[in-house]
Amino acid sequence: MKLKRERIKAADIRFDERLYPRGGVDETTVRRFREALRAGGKLPPVLVEKDTNRGVDGQHRVLASIAEYGEDCMIEVKVETFASEIAFMQRAIELNARHGLALTPYDQAISITRMRTLGADDETIRESLQLTEEKYENLIRRKIAQYKGKQVAIKRTIGHFAGQELTGSILGVNERAAGMNALFYVNQVIDLLEHDALDLDNEKLVAGLQRLGDLIGKRINVAA
């Protein structure tokens, strides 16, 4: 089906977080698109929902265009109609799974929790994500916990909480975490310390290290 194309203001395109298949915006991708625009490149059309102008696919392209040209810049869009919000998000997932920046396992878990909240069945979600049954079930086991009865996608940093009920404090850790496993961060600090690679003239850094030392002394001793 050939979709109608239009040009609309970037500011008129809005992305609904409830229907977005990612954990957030990737600033590196936005910068890459901005560089392409500066070099005279043309970005592919953004897909929007008919009448509402809700963005289905292309948030990074919209943000790059706004950053370069302002909110009043005109963006080429393709317009599509959806029978339900499940159909809307299914299309968003399928497009993100097929091209551009790949969905991370965390993004995939977010897609699962958001689609389930909308009432989609697992077969529909799995097919949208283009995952085998084995990978889909493994993703659910490793990447989903609960908070106040609702399913929550969790990052690798707190992966050991998969399947458990989170506290508000741990939920906050999940939201702030960069996503690598905890040992990665520990090894980074060890490497910097062992090779005298830290800027010890940085007062905030030194204060942070002192706090880290205090916490390690308290937490590790208690755990032992």
User: 9 and 100, same structural domain?
Assistant: yes
Which structural domain, as residue segments, surrounds residue 80?
A: 4-104
By the 8 A CB rule, do 56 and 91 touch? yes
The answer as to whether 128 is a domain residue is no
The helix (run of H) or strand (run of E) holding residue 188 is helix 182-194
Q: Is 147 helix (H, G, I), strand (E, B) or coil?
A: strand
Residue-level pLDDT, tens digit, the chain, 224 residues: 678 899 999 999 999 999 999 998 999 999 999 999 999 999 999 999 999 999 999 999 999 999 999 999 999 999 999 999 999 999 999 998 776 678 999 999 999 999 999 999 999 999 999 999 999 999 999 999 999 999 999 999 999 999 999 999 999 999 999 999 999 999 999 999 999 999 999 999 999 999 999 999 998 876 55
CATH number, domain with residue 28: 3.90.1530.10
| Chosen domain end from 85, 104, 123 | 104
